[in-house]
A and B are shown apart, each in its own frame.
Chain A
Amino acid sequence: MLEKVNAGRLTSASERFDFDELVQDDRVHRLIYTDQAIFQAEMTQIFGAVWVYLGHESQIAKNDDFITTRLGLRPLILLRDSQGVIRALFNRCTHRGTTLCRKDKGTARTFTCPYHGWSYLNSGKLRAVPWPDGYACDFKDAKYNVAQVPRVDSYRGFIFGTLNLDAPPLLDYLGGITKPIDEWLDRQPGGKIAVCEANRLKYKGNWKLAYDNSGDGYHVVFSHRSLLEMENRQADVANKGMSYYRSSPDTAPMYMAYMGNGHHFKDKRPAIEKRAGGLWAVEGPAPGTEHYQAELRRRYGARAEEILDLASSEPVNINVFPNFSLLGNHIQVFDPVAVDETDVTWYGTAVVDEEGVLGGAVDDINALRMRTMEQFPNFGEVDDLANFEEIQRGLGCLEDEWVYMHRGLGIPGRVKTDANGVITAPATDEAFMREYIREWKRLMKAEPTIAIKREP
């Protein structure tokens, strides 16, 4: 059963702001990062209206598994119900609004509200109400079942949901960005990964500052200068890690591609030698590097190189608007908390080798892969987040209204659009920012059909 919601009651920002003025071709107004009403509107116009990443199927691998997560600010229980259906329940008792589940993850066939004991099946259906004789109503009425996200779908293990009945099918929404997602998965044995804990970070700044950064090849040598110097401190590891950003990154063999619907892709793979072991050759040192490299080469000979590549960071940034990014071996998720607070979670991914194609190397390669994945969140991301916080602080200068994103704009021949509408530019251009924020503007002015679903 679908219940349409009066979206106008949720937000009034479209009446208060002229988004054409706030988002211009070369710059945006500071208010889109600082205004409380715009943030509230985004929770419906963006996080309610497009497909938003909710979690990975490996986190709810078996029937009755659940995790708790968010859709914008809405607390959710993402689960695989007793029949195997993946659902995103609002974590909210229909009776008084209490959250039903307070655990991060677990296994449960039912959820019982801690406040008055109403209990629900994991399909969302009301199961029992204590002392029902005290009620004149019919509890078989669907309105007492837990509200849930009406549209939930997966793409190769990545689960997305939307409240917008007018949104295109997930596959259409993802569009051309599925190609780099496929390539990212297909380098893994069996074309799949499993989520394995996370580096969980937070910054006091607007969520779009992270999405602005997600494909930004311009900031790297400046924001990550300490990491680059660290990576190059030992002569034998120079030219590894992020060092392909040194010298003149404008003309380096990498590019960005804007794929529509706010999605974009920064591809640094052209800088890597195309051979087994090519990625491993540029992976910086990690705990266990020399031991596992020697051990795998001893056991697997020439085959060791392609196995070692699995512990190496894939040099791509695949960004799906508004909150999902595949980069290196991470799934990075942006979760808004408030207009000036955002959680950035770097989920680690492990190799799963169900068919045994790695010949028993899977545990070794994962042990090494965990350590390579810890490097960037520790030594790179923290500096970006510090800079995002300082942007938020700088935007406290009310009268200096504009933030620029015009690198590459207006230079003939620099930004190219192909027959499919894919826009490519040097990785250091801000073309993707201009394109995604144009999509953001369209969405902020749109009238989505917001709805929730309840079991009949």
Chain B
Amino acid sequence: MTTQVARDPSSSSYYVTDAFYRELIAQFADWQRDDLAIADLAERDRFRMLIEREARLLDQLMFDEWLAMHAPECIYWVPATPQGGDPRREVAILFDDRRRMEDRIYRLRTGYAWSQAPKSRTVRMVSNVEVFAAGTARMVRSNLLISEFRPDGVRFLSGFCAHRFVEQAGRWLIAVRQVNLIDCDQNLRNPSIVI
């Protein structure tokens, strides 16, 4: 288990530890603070471009490219409670590590994911992008509106995203993407797309 191969986060999950959860909860607790907001337009634009690209990749179902935007040890998290909750003590709508993100994509591509047959057509709007300093990392808040067409009509999913970006080898990568749906604690119909 100490070899590199065994620790490939696509095939094993060693990084989701108690310490990891504790840091995650701390990182997502009190970050939207005016004193941490970054005013520099070039920096704000850098992150705005990243999340706009992410939205486009998800609309185009380009999941490999989407995964490549993430750090190797990453989390995709949709809480079931408006304040985010404590994922150690409560279930989330989803809390995926890299392997489970890959599971999710694999399932959608099998051709037998009936909840996505036919596939939803989506258009995402991201806006109200704010960037906050978090040590060497960056926390980015953006508003998200997904218009989703299925054969019986169009519906909307909306909420705000909290991205935690980390810089690795000169690239800013998504370490955590938290999607806070405004109706996260309500019964949701067919939440089977990557939100």
Contact = CB atoms under 8 A, between A and B. Distances in A.
Interface stretch (A35-43, A78-86, A120-128, A383-391): A383-391
Interface in B66-103: 75, 80-81, 85, 87-97, 99-100, 103
- Chain B CB within 10 A, most for which of A201, A203, A230, A285: A230
Contacts, number: 147
A196 interface: yes
Nearest to A393: B152
Contacts of A366: 88-89
Interface residues of A, number: 52
Interface string A373-401: 11100110011011100100000000000
Contact of A371 (B95, B111, B192): B95
Contacts of B190: 203, 382, 385-386
B125 interface: no
19 contacts: A199-B91, A202-B187, A202-B189, A225-B112, A229-B112, A230-B106, A233-B106, A287-B100, A288-B16, A290-B1, A290-B13, A344-B187, A348-B91, A367-B21, A367-B87, A378-B94, A383-B114, A386-B115, A386-B190
A229 B110 contact: yes
Contacts of A204: 152, 189
A288 B113 contact: no
Give the interface size bracket for B toward A: 35 or more
B106 to A, nearest CB: 5
A288 B99 contact: no
B53 interface: no
A383 B113 CA distance: 6
Given A225-B110, A350-B90, 17 more contacts: A196-B90, A199-B91, A200-B186, A201-B191, A229-B112, A285-B12, A285-B99, A289-B13, A290-B14, A291-B14, A292-B17, A363-B88, A367-B21, A373-B91, A378-B104, A382-B190, A386-B114
A87 B6 CA distance: 53
A364 interface: yes
B164 to A, nearest CB: 16
Contacts of A198: 80, 91
Nearest to B6: A290
Contact of B89 (A292, A370, A387): A370
B107 interface: yes
A197 B189 CA distance: 17
Given A198-B91, A348-B90, A382-B115, A286 B13 contact: yes
A245 to B, nearest CB: 14
A148 to B, nearest CB: 25
B185 A200 contact: yes
Contact of A196 (B91, B111, B115, B186): B91
Interface in B157-195: 185-192
A61 interface: no
Contacts of B16: 287-288, 291, 371
A382 B87 CA distance: 21
A230 B106 CA distance: 6
Interface string A343-355: 1111010100000
Given A287-B99, A294-B1, A374-B94, A363 B18 contact: yes
B156 interface: no
Contact of A370 (B12, B88, B108, B192): B88
Tell me the interface secondary structure of chain A in the complex.
helix
A236 B99 CA distance: 14
Contacts of B80: 197-200
B114 A230 contact: no
B72 to A, nearest CB: 14
A223 interface: yes
Contacts of B187: 200-202, 343-345
A196 B110 contact: no
A200 B188 contact: yes
Interface in B1-15: 1, 6, 11-15
Given A200-B187, A202-B188, A287-B99, A234 B11 contact: yes
A201 B100 contact: no
Interface string B9-45: 0011111111001000000000000000000000000
A314 to B, nearest CB: 16
Nearest to B184: A200
Given A204-B189, A286-B100, A291 B90 contact: no
A181 interface: no
B12 A226 contact: no
A290 B12 contact: yes
A236 B5 CA distance: 14
B73 to A, nearest CB: 11
A291 B7 CA distance: 10
A374 B92 contact: yes
A378 B187 CA distance: 13
Interface in B91-139: 91-97, 99-100, 103-104, 106-108, 110-115, 117
A263 B16 CA distance: 39
Nearest to B96: A287
A131 B88 CA distance: 50
Enumerate the 10 nearest inter-chain pairs by beta-carbon distance, A residue then B residue, closest first.
Answer: A348-B91, A288-B16, A197-B90, A287-B97, A225-B112, A382-B115, A202-B187, A226-B112, A226-B113, A367-B88
Interface string A214-255: 000000000101110110011010000000000000000000
Given A285-B13, A386-B115, A379 B104 contact: yes
Contacts of B96: 287
Contacts of A230: 103, 106-107, 110
A104 interface: yes
A201 B183 CA distance: 12
Contact of A226 (B89, B91, B114): B114
A334 to B, nearest CB: 11
Interface string A283-308: 00111111110110000000000000
B88 A385 contact: no
